[in-house]
Structure 1
Amino acid sequence: MGFIDILLFPVYIFLFHLVFAYSRKKIKDPKLKFYHKYAFWVKIFASFCMTIFNVYISPGDSTNLYYIEGHNLARHILADADNIQWLFKTGKEYPVELIKLSGNTGYFGSESNVIIIKLVAIFSFLSFGRYIIINLFFSMLALSGIWKLFLFFYDSYPHLHKHLSMAILFLPTVVFWSSGALKDPVCMAMLGWFTYSMYKGFYKKKDVMLCTGVAIVSTLVLFTVKPYILFAYIPFFLLYLFLINMGLIKNYFVKFFAFVVIGGLSMLGFVSMSSVLQEEMGNLSLDNLAGTVESHQSNFAAMANRAESSFSLGVEFDGTMGSLAAVAPAAINATLFRPYIWESKKISTLLSSLESLTLMIFFLYVLFKVGIFKFFGIILKDPMVMFCFFFAILFALFVGATTLNFGTLVRYKIPCMPFFTIALILIYQKGAKQKTKTTVAVTEEKLVTT
């Protein structure tokens, strides 16, 4: 990072400020305007910190793969316009002679890597190829989706705006790891856009065609970058949409008929989709899931001697679904509450450990304050809580069981963190409200008897 980067960074901040300030004028709610403004500046700061981290503290995929190869592709396109074709072809078709570092050749076999390289190439044309500006573009892309995710929850719980902002807009690990040239900002952006467009189009019944288009694009991008997010997310989110739409139907016969028809179509669609995707997804299919987890565990274990941040779940795993169930508690705990402070050996994991400790304390507080039975009762009764909680748990299981390195875990887990936090917030709020109603009822009963 040199003088030109320092010179250009404020210029691009100003340009993005104009864009976001213009969009902010369309927001009528003063609370939303407030959060929109501060979320923007937090992401600006985070993109700067991400640049410093990747350049000077811990260089990784962002600098050694995505930026180098993406910027290199942009240079090839500028040198020969015919090379623009590689923006529209698969990584397997990409010419080896155009790859800058021979060690990156294998990464072009995965479209999840290639799509980020292509995005970096596109952003390079808009940023003079400066890494800090490219990070800024990724950060703003992530913010667009994260903001939509915030709007989705705010629409249902406007009175919890402070809690929701902390869980979505200002959660440290989410803010930081979604602010650079990585897969994570793209995933957070697409997850937010998918959620909001589906909610607006199929519950609010507004701009149905546009929302359908946005949902399809978001799904395709997520499927390319990190398909396991979709597999964990879609079943519970669609169940949520189904349940809240059922609540709009007043006639019990129509409601039962709709339940049977939609449920049957959903099962048929799921079976059809599974058969189509089985060949595409290979080791991510349900039958091979346990084997996939075992393979990932073996890979991380093999690197344990070379990576200071590697850890063990402390549970033997033999590749069967039964042992996957046995490893589940440790895997979920690792994703949501680790690394512990004494396990942190780097700045990045230390910050994550403080957040994990705070989340663990909050989880235990809610669990004992509300009560174990009422805790799970609220989850099963409320569609939103059910959706958030079960997605977070399923996602935490897969990520925790396959990622035995804290440096990677703190980045991979960010899609589920806002949802788990929001689930706890809603459980606490609903539990407190139930206690208040019970107390009032008891008081009124005593007054009547006296």
Structure 2
Amino acid sequence: MSILLIYLVNLLILGGLVWWLYRQAWTQKLRPYFWLALGLKLLLALTFAIFRYSYANSSDTHVYHAASLQLMEYAGQHPSAYLRLLFFNQFESEAFRASLPFSRFPDFTNSFYFVKLLSVLNLLTAGAYYLNNLYLSLFSFWGSLYLVSVLTRVLPKYKSAAVAAFLFFPSVVFWSTGVMKEPVMFGSMCWVVGAALQLAQGQKLSIWTWLLLPLQVYVFIKIKLFYAGLLLPLLLAYVLVQRLKVYVKPLQSPRVQLLLLLALAGVVVLVVMWQRSVFNPDFILWNLERNYSTLLSRSQHRPHINLHDLEPTLLSMLLHYPEAALSSIYRPFLGESWRLLYLLSGLENLLLLLLTALAVASAFRNGASRRVALLHVLLLVFILCMAGVTGLSTPNFGTLSRYRIVYLPFLVYLLLQNVYAQRLLQRLRFP
């Protein structure tokens, strides 16, 4: 099949998927900015793909793509062996295993899982890098659009905040594109959060949503196990509290709801961590410190988070947490470096600082709304934990700006809910 025909067939499929997405009932209230948000995402995906793959130095995306092409070729030569590898991580030989990147611990590495996913996509795109970019970017757009539609139904007052945070905030859109793990993580995470919020509010899920939910949860866990290990217990606890309060009168109190939410989430986390082969606390602390030290050794000539004497102990992590979390959210500051990436990150972080100041001023002047306090607490706990985890493990601001999309849109969503930010969005005529 010629490359032209491959592109033509896949562009028709992509066009059909976009039209199907646009015609969904749940996108009706989002249609005024559907095409603008999608166009911006796909434009960034292609622009960044051209730069990153054709002109930039070799990086993770090159390794992922090359490994997926190797698996695609293997699928053509040994289809039954490829299926065993795909579903059971069974290698026909140790030599073949050694030839594949990320295959040393195939049951635990998310990079190898992503390479397998990419190899399946290659069977449709014939390994065309730019087509893979479009498919993965569309997947992340689908997840974020679905979550925005649910948030709009749950909290219609803050529709503009959800749209701005998940569909238009610069680094969220930028880093959720391309042949990387982040678009898959972001799309599946947003989709799972959206489904959980629907269940919590007692909204009926379609049969397709029920069928897709286990798959999206599985993908989220496989791509980012530790992120899922925190978020899924919080979501499960939130759904249980919201459904129980309908039948249990004492749960009508926001304070009781909050206590039960934290208690249930804690129980689920303890149960999960009981499986010490996966969530061994000592291993988690060691892994955080090892990642930090490894990246720090490569970041001495760039702006970075310098956590002096960080050790793989709980006390050391807690002592360094405030600096790590604040740096993860608000750094690099404008002026720490005049390279383009750091300059753009500094401008965005300056915006985050201003939004935080507005939110604090609004809270002191107007007080906090109790009606959505439980959802706010859930998101805030997740944001603060993830900010700390990413800051403690990732000193390099370039890498950190990519990793923080796991919590950044939720933070922006909360910051844009204050009175002053809402007025600003109205003056800007934001939809």
- State the TM-score bracket (shorter-chain normalisation): 0.7 to 0.9
2:167 to 166, 169, 192: 169
Contact 1:316 1:327 in 2 (8 A): no
Shift of residue 396, structure 1, vs aligned partner: 0.4
CA distance in 1, matches of 2:341, 2:120: 29
Shift of 1:24: 1.9
- CA change 1:393–1:123 in 2 (3 A) is same
Partners of 1:109 and 1:203 lie apart in 2 by: 36
The equivalent residue for 2:123 is: 125
Q: Is the 8 A contact 1:200 1:211 kept in 2?
A: no
Deviation at 1:95, TM superposition (A): 4.3
| Cα pair distance change 1:264/1:316, threshold 3 Å | closer
Matches within 5 A, 1:184-203: 184-203=182-201
Matched, 1:272 2:275: no
Q: Which runs of 5+ in 1 are unaligned?
A: 433-450
Checking the alignment, whether the CA contact within 8 Å between 1:146 and 1:192 is kept in structure 2 is yes
**Unmatched 5+ stretches in structure 2:** 424-431
1:294 to 289, 293, 299: 289
Equivalent pair of 1:69/1:100 in contact (CA under 8 Å): no
1:281-320, aligned counterparts within 5 Å?
281-282=279-280, 285=281, 287-305=282-300, 308-309=301-302, 311-320=304-313
- Describe the SS at the equivalent of 2:335: helix
Provide the rounded CA distance (Å) in 2 between the counterparts of 1:201 and 1:370: 29
**Whole-angstrom CA distance in 2 between matches of 1:45 and 1:233:** 30
Give the 3-state SS of the residue equivalent to 1:313 in structure 2.
coil
The 5 Å alignment of 1:105-184 reads 106=104, 110-184=108-182
The residue that corresponds to 1:385 in the other structure is 376
CA distance in 2, matches of 1:350, 1:264: 42
CA distance, structure 2, for counterparts of residue 25 and residue 232 of structure 1: 34
CA contact (8 A) 1:13 1:44 kept: no
Residue 360 of structure 1 corresponds to: 353
1:194 to 1:23, Cα distance in 2 relative to 1, 3 A: same
* In 1: Cα distance, 2:160 partner to 2:203 partner: 28
1:105/1:15 Cα in 2 relative to 1: closer, same or farther (>3 Å)?
closer
Q: 1:380 to 1:320 in 2, by over 3 A?
A: farther
Aligned positions of 1:18-37 closer than 5 A: 18-27=16-25, 30-37=28-35
Displacement after TM superposition at 1:138 (Å) = 0.8
2:59 maps to what in 1? 60
CA distance in 2, matches of 1:134, 1:8: 12
Give, in whole Å, the separation in 1 of the partners of 2:422 and 2:163.
21
Q: 1:262 to 1:166 in 2, by over 3 A?
A: closer
> Aligned residue for 1:236?
234
From 38, 42, 45, give the equivalent of 1:44. Answer: 42
Contact 1:332-1:393 at 8 Å conserved across structures: yes
Report the counterpart of residue 325 of structure 1 in structure 2: 318
Aligned in 2, Cα 1:113/1:209: closer, same or farther, shift over 3 Å? same
Q: 1:395 aligns to what?
A: 386
Q: In structure 2, which of residues 396, 404, 408 is the aligned counterpart of residue 417 of structure 1?
A: 408
**CA-CA distance at 1:185 after TM superposition:** 0.8
When Rg is computed on C-alpha atoms for both structures, the one with the higher figure is 1
Amino acid at match of 2:73: R
Q: Distance in 2 between the 1:190 and 1:415 partners?
A: 11
**TM-score under structure 2 length normalisation:** 0.84
Corresponding letter in the other structure for 2:304:
F
Q: Which amino acid in the other structure matches residue 51 of structure 1?
A: A
Q: Work out the CA distance in 1 between the residues paired with 2:197 and 2:15.
A: 28
